[in-house]
Structure 1
Amino acid sequence: MRDGVQAAAASDRPIAAERTISPPGRALPGRHGGTPMSSHGRTRRITRTAALVAAAAIAAPAGLLAAAGNASAAAPTCRTDQLKASWTDKGTAKSGAPTGEQETAVVELKNSGSETCTLKGQPGVSLTEGRNSETLRNSSDKPEPKPVSLDPGKSTTFTLVFLSEKDEPRQGFTPKTAVVTPPGNKDTVDLPWKWGPVTKQESATHPGNWVGPVGASVDVSSGKEAGKSGPGKVDCGSGRHGLSVRAVTTHGKGACPTAHKVADAYGKALDAKKKPPVTVTVNGAAWKCDEKQGKVNPYQECVSTKERGEKVQLLS
């Protein structure tokens, strides 16, 4: 290495021009006329180039080794057996207190291992009770998953969103266990369920039960129900006959429970062989329900006669 550097340094010195004296009567012009370069000049120029190439070749492996070191430093995926799962008190759900509204339950995943690891994406979650089960879906319109790095002893959280069943027990069940599969794993961890009855949503086009990615907060208050934010159209999951229930509202929070009551009252009227238009009464307010034709498929719509702009749509 030292000899190569010295050779490169020596080659940086100016090279003295040499004159070649030709015999009388014979001219040895250079490529463009004039005095040609001697063989010694060409040798020195080749030596200088070779030294520079050698120095560059010696420096290159250091950069490659640094890149390889950075790649090898990437933390592996957290394994299920090194994660400790537990409920937190950060969600809206209360133990044993069904509300008939959409609630959240937050799970903490703590790295109980001795090495740093990473998690990214939505966990798999199934709520089970004997033969009954409800698998919470993931959806592309939920918060964008981002990698979360967990040092030993550190933790992250993810959120379950579910419809708390209160008035129609036949539409739901009370899970005993939440079976959690951390992202990037096949093994599961069980958590005892303590949040009361859940409305079944697996057959819904726009389910009200879903799971968010690790490291992302989810807020269903102020109308952020089923992943849709603010006043407007709120997908409330499935209702009677498996139809998807949608609230068109100016309020937001509380729209889904009312929408399900309207949908259920309208469904009972249809079951009684009544033909649209039908007027149903929910919470002392009248709703006029009728069939509508969408751009592709027909649907049912109930319009409040008490509050302007409040509607409930039933979609197949």
Structure 2
Amino acid sequence: MRAMPTTVTAVTALLLLTACGGENGGDGAKDDAKQESGACSTATVSVEVGPASEAPAAGDNGEVPVNLVNQGPSCVLDGFPGASLVAAGGEPVALAPTDGATAQKLTLPEGGSASFTITYVRGPEDAGRSLDAKTLEIGLPGDSATRDFPWSYGPVANQGEGEGTATGTGTADATVSAFQRSGD
């Protein structure tokens, strides 16, 4: 008969430890919610482009900040932002990550914000040597949808020698930084 109370005590202790969140002592429900957060989506994250530090002349560098605010439930940014420039009637030209940048996984709670920066070199007004960008496409990792914004910062230089980017071929001399947490 004494074995029964010991078994009941052991089961009760196990249930209490599980309810307290286990090893980390945290709230099990909150830990589960963090693990279940899905990828952030352009449907629930507001995106604002600019104001930019525009490159004034060909060969000069410019920076375009992009700010994000999560309007929905907690979500995850895992990887680099998707950013492409598009000339009128051209195909999107994807921007590579900034040299040396490392993507980090960020969880954005509802109302949480993050940002990234597009850095570019302004090109000459010569269609054969520059991408005459008209649109900036922004996408989030894990989300296939994109949002379009007008590109009003002038043509973007062609990176290196070779085929031009006037109609969306070649490589634009522009990069995208990793996400950074912003705000409080």
TM-score tier (shorter): 0.7 to 0.9
CA contact (8 A) 1:86 1:191 kept: no
Does residue 84 of structure 1 match 2:46? Answer: yes
1:254-293 equivalences in 2 (<5 Å): none
Q: Deviations over 1:5-34 (max 9, x none)?
A: xxxxxxxxxxxxxxxxxxxxxxxxxxxxxx
Kept in 1, the 8 Å contact 2:62–2:121? The answer is: yes
Shift of 1:50: 4.5
Contact persistence 1:145–1:216 (CA under 8 A): no
Q: Superposition pairs for residues 185-204 of structure 1, below 5 Å? A: 185-201=143-159
Q: Which residue of 2 aligns with 1:156?
A: 114
2: CA distance between counterparts of 1:63 and 1:98? 65
Which residue of structure 2 aligns with residue 58 of structure 1?
12
Greater alpha carbon shift after TM alignment, 172-181 vs 124-133: 124-133
Secondary structure at the aligned position of 1:80 is classed as coil
Measured after TM superposition, the shift of residue 84 of structure 1 is 1.8
1:212 partner letter: S
Q: TM-score, normalised by structure 1?
A: 0.45
Cα separation, 2, equivalents of 1:64 and 1:105? 48
Which structure 1 residue ranges, 5 or more long, are not aligned? 1-45, 218-316
Q: Which residue of 2 aligns with 1:222?
A: none
Identical aligned residues as a percent = 23
Q: Report the alpha carbon displacement of residue 82 of structure 1 after superposing the two structures with TM.
A: 1.1
The structure richer in helix per residue is: 1
Which one has the bigger strand percentage?
2
1:135-190 Cα distance to aligned partner (Å, 9 max, x none): 101367213423142423x4321111222113755221221111111122111111
Measured against aligned partners, the alpha-carbon deviations of 1:173-229 in whole angstroms (never above 9, x if no partner) come to 22111111112211111111111110133756xx84221122169xxxxxxxxxxxx
Q: Does 1:111 align with 2:70?
A: yes
Pick the structure with greater CA Rg.
1
Count of aligned pairs between the two proteins: 164
**Contact preservation (8 Å) 2:62, 2:119:** yes
Higher relative contact order (CA 8 A, sep 6+): 2
Coordinate RMSD, CA, aligned: 2.9
Q: Which moved more, 1:170-179 or 1:126-135?
A: 126-135
The residue that corresponds to 2:61 in the other structure is 102
TM-score (norm 2): 0.73
1:120, distance to aligned residue in structure 2 (A):
2.8
C-alpha contact (below 8 Å) 2:132/2:156 kept by paired residues: yes
